[in-house]
Amino acid sequence: MNRVWSRIKNWLIAMGSPPHFYRWATSSLPWLAGLAVIVFCAGLIWGLGFSPTDYKQGDVYRIIYIHVPSAILAESIYIFMAISGFISMVWRAKIAGMLINSAAPLGAGFTLIALLTGSIWGKTTWGTWWVWDARLTSTLIMFFLYAAIIGLHSSIENKTKGDRAVSILAVLGVVIVPIIKKSVDWWQTLHQPSTFTLTSSPSMSPDMYLPLLVCVLGFYCLFIFMLTNGLRAEIISRERDKSWVKKQFFKY
Amino acid sequence: MTNRDSTLDWFMLVLRRDLTLSFRRSATYITPLIFFLIVVTFFPLALGPSQSLLSSMAAGIIWISALLSSLLAVEGIFSEDFRDGTLDQYFVSSEPVFVLIFAKVLCHWLVCGAPIILASVLSSVFLYLPSGVLFALIISLLLGTLFMSLLGALGAALSLGRSAILSAIIVLPFSIPTLLMGTAIMSAAINQQDYSGFISIMGAMLAIGIPGLCLLTVEAILLNYE
């Protein structure tokens, strides 16, 4: 047990060094890409093509196979960023700082997809593009938080400094996101009872639920693939003056 | 100062120094006040002078204006001390820096927050705020503007030497719980319900926020020394 633990620790420490991570990413990227394509396509084809039609909503409900995974990712990417922010604040690991920088645009993108698909779904089932429902509102706020992080990072010229500034925001965010969610819930119940709830439908049948699960997994794989790919580019652009990059690309 | 001086003495020293500096320059406490009154005046101009409409929106309008003006006011809190080296002295002193930072924020709140709260009493007349909720307005703004000053100080530290709008973008999403709690207090007071629970939550947020945000602010200021 102890040996396994120390091997994991050594592996993590090794991963913190940019050249090592770069080599790992280069060799595992095809596998990640293949896995992402297979799971993502399988989930989408199963969900969009073969799962049964909903008796009440018809085929419109199939947007759930895009909407729910991206909403789940929007939140988990934020938590992921906060963890990397904490690591970069405490241990000053270079990779952790770069991770926030590459994950933030992805998180903002998934949040935007969740908002857009949700609003299209809402138009067809509720008859309106937008309601000030607690969940919609907190997702919108989530998008603003991502925008704040991206804006702050892009305004700071020194990238390493920007990483640390952003990690402060990410750590503050993970404390405040639950508070935002809770307070938005209260705000909603205070002002008016929620007209529509997303959770009131009866529990889904397995042949609708399983494809959704595969879709969520597929979105996660896609995220990991895109993150690794983005991180590779980030490493090269930041370390372009280092000798290992020159050796790798120019053979001198 | 001798070695026997406690952290509290340093805290009071920084507070006194900042208060003196602020009162020497009337702009520090007049500007947020005028900004607050102008923003409040804009709402009736934009929405129309209907008494019932304004009365139902008064609490929200006052809260948004107070948030914006205390945020804008705190924007330059560190820039001068950073430029003339006073902040450097904080870091080389052996005292915990976040206590000294808190003294700065507290001074700022006393100088800018208090006039805004006074002006909010005036604007509650402008906006036909229902009578009997003045106490709730004052107490919610007291807690809320202090939290905004703390958040704004973090934003100011992160965007030191950059545009003010960046600081606003950073801070505003994080100020949403304060805004919601404050307006929850107000709507509970207008409906004559008990609002002590919301006040407790705001107090709890402050209790965590004062040390937490001051520590993060110190971390953010340190970024500028690299």
Please report the DSSP string for A69-116 in residue order.
Answer: HHHHHHHHHHHHHHHHHHHHHHT--HHHHHHHHHHHHHHHHHHHHHHH
Residue B213 tokens read as 């945000």
Region A100-123 average pLDDT: 91
Helix (H/G/I), strand (E/B), else coil: B224: helix
pTM score, whole prediction? 0.85
Mean pLDDT value of segment B137-144: 91
Chain A: closest CA distance from residue B217 (Å): 9
Task: Say yes or no: ipTM exceeds 0.90.
Answer: no
pLDDT in tens, A219-236: 999 999 999 999 988 888
Does residue B118 have a pLDDT over 50?
yes
Which residue of chain B has the CA closest to A139? B173
**Residue B200 banded pLDDT, cuts 50, 70, 90:** very high
pLDDT band of residue A189 (cuts 50, 70, 90) is low
pLDDT tens digits for range A27-76: 888 999 999 999 989 888 888 888 777 777 777 778 888 888 898 898 88
Q: Output the six-digit token pair for B103.
A: 């003294």
- Crossing angle for the helix pair B97-108 and B51-74, to the nearest 10 degrees: 140
Residues B47 and B41: their CA atoms lie apart, in Å, by 10
Query: CA-nearest residue of chain A to B226?
Result: A161
Share of chain A above pLDDT 90, in %: 17
Average pLDDT, stretch B206-224?
90
pLDDT at B42: 92
Residue of B30, B204, B213, B181 lying closest to B105 (CA atoms) = B213
- Tokens standing for residue B194: 């008990």
Closest residue in chain A to residue B184, using alpha carbons only: A187
pLDDT at A107: 93
Is A168 close to B158, i.e. CB distance below 8 A? Answer: yes
Are the CB atoms for A248 and A26 separated by under 8 Å?
no
Residues A35-66, buried b or exposed e (16+ Cβ, 10 A)?
Answer: bbeebbeebbebbeeebeebeeeeeebbbbbb
- In a mutational test of the A interface, the residue from B71, B101, B170 whose CB has the highest number of chain A CBs within 10 Å is B170
pLDDT above 50 for B168: yes
- Which of B154, B158, B198 best probes binding to A when mutated, by most A CB atoms within 10 angstroms? B158
- Predicted local confidence at residue A143, as pLDDT: 92
Please tell me the predicted confidence (pLDDT) of residue A196: 44
Rounded to the nearest 10 degrees, what angle do helices A94-125 and A64-90 cross at? 160
| pLDDT tops 50 at residue B222 | yes
Predicted local distance difference test score (pLDDT) of residue A146: 92
- pLDDT beyond 80 at A23: yes
Decide if pLDDT at A96 tops 90.
Answer: no
Query: If you measure CA to CA, which chain B residue comes closest to A185?
Result: B180
B187 contacts in chain A (CB < 8 Å): 190-191
The predicted pLDDT at position A138 comes to 83
Summarised one tens digit per residue, pLDDT across range B61-88 is: 999 999 988 888 887 788 888 888 888 8
d(CA A122, CA A139): 15
Residue B17 C-alpha, separation from nearest chain A C-alpha, in angstroms: 29
Which single residue is written with the structure tokens 């705190």?
B74
Segment 144-173 of chain B within 8 Å of chain A by CB: 154, 158-159, 162-163, 166, 169-170, 172-173
Q: How far is B62 from chain A (nearest CA, A)?
A: 18
| Residue from A75, A21, A49, A102 nearest A219 by CA | A75
Q: Does A192 touch chain B (CB under 8 A)?
A: no
Q: pLDDT per residue over A84-95, tens digit each? A: 998 888 888 888
